[in-house]
């Protein structure tokens, strides 16, 4: 979940959200799939996102670097993503950007869908509840920060969540109350350096310990506890020296 408050720097937030949502064509565990516009942030956010995606170049990444987004992994992924887009329309969400039938920078045999943005998505919709794993961003609109946090906490996942705001109090409340392992403030992808754990929660976590950080170190470590008592120091010293 990516929360955008009315006081956010919209240009910076737009750049961060575009990178989080459409980097790697949305095919990564830390992809930003849902943006929550708080209060009056909805219209300017949609305008900025729509303008930015209209300029994105989609095409093969193996023959040219003059593209902003490449293909999805295979035909099955393409079919699944386009099916989710159709489902979103059936559920009543509004398409602000449609990536189906995208024009490519050059001919390719790959599987392509352009950046897609849904507006006025409701939390009960399938496109909001399930992980699409593709370049599809769903935008919700809520009245205030508590409502936005409540929506985020309804998710079955908990890898990363971010907030865009100039209000330190709002950022602290978000970090405190959202049920998520990695938090970003004015950061699109809150993936930490390897010194810190990669701490997904809920269905974004499997196992006993998280990777990276101290937990990653402990995963590869066998703990050994040694208890010692020396009743006779002189005798013990002789034994050690004679060993």
Name the catalytic one among 24, 29, 66, 73. Answer: 29
Q: What is the pLDDT of residues 6-49, one digit of tens each?
A: 999 999 999 999 999 999 999 988 889 999 999 999 999 999 99
Q: Is residue 240 part of a domain?
A: no
Q: Is residue 76 part of a domain?
A: yes
Mean pLDDT across the chain: 88
Parent domain of 142: 2-210
Q: Please state, in angstroms and as integers, the Cα–Cα distance from residue 27 to each residue in 77, 78, 149, following that order.
A: 10, 11, 25
Q: Is 180 a catalytic residue?
A: no
Short-list 147, 207, 144, CA closest to 178: 147
For residue 70, give the 3-state DSSP assignment. Answer: coil
Structure confidence at residue 209 (pLDDT): 64
Q: Is residue 219 part of a domain?
A: no
Number of domains observed in the structure of the chain: 1
Q: Is residue 67 part of a domain?
A: yes
Q: Is residue 52 part of a domain?
A: yes
Q: Is residue 136 part of a domain?
A: yes
Q: With contact defined as beta carbons under 8 Å apart, do 14 and 174 qualify? A: no
Residue 191 CB-density burial (10 A; 0-12 exposed, 13-18 middle, 19+ buried): middle
Q: How much is the pTM?
A: 0.82
Structure confidence at residue 196 (pLDDT): 64
Q: Is residue 234 part of a domain?
A: no
Q: What is the CATH number of the domain that holds 44?
A: 3.40.309.10
Q: What is the pLDDT of residues 123-158, one digit of tens each?
A: 999 999 999 999 999 999 999 999 999 999 988 766
Q: Is residue 35 part of a domain?
A: yes
């Amino acid at each position: 979940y990516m929360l955008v408050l009315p006081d956010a720097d919209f240009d910076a937030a737009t750049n961060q959200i575009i990178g989080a949502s459409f980097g790697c064509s949305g095919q990564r565990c830390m992809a930003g799939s849902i943006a929550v516009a708080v209060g009056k942030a909805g219209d300017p956010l949609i305008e900025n996102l729509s303008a930015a995606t209209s300029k994105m170049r989609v095409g093969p990444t193996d023959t040219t670097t003059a593209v902003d987004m490449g293909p999805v992994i295979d035909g099955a992924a393409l079919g699944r993503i386009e099916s989710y887009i159709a489902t979103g329309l059936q559920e009543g969400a509004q398409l602000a950007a449609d990536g189906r039938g995208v024009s490519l920078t050059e001919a390719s045999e790959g599987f392509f869908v352009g950046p897609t943005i849904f507006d006025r998505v409701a939390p009960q919709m399938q496109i909001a509840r399930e992980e699409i794993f593709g370049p599809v961003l769903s935008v919700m609109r809520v009245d205030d920060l508590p409502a936005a946090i409540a929506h985020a906490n309804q998710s079955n996942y908990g890898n990363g969540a971010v907030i865009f705001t100039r209000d330190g109090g709002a950022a602290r409340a978000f970090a405190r109350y959202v049920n998520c392992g990695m938090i970003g403030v004015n950061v699109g992808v809150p993936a930490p350096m390897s010194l810190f754990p990669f701490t997904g929660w809920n269905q974004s976590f499997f196992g006993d310990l998280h990777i990276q950080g101290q937990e990653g170190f402990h995963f590869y470590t066998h703990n050994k506890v040694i208890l010692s008592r020396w009743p006779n120091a002189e005798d013990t010293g002789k034994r050690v020296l004679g060993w």
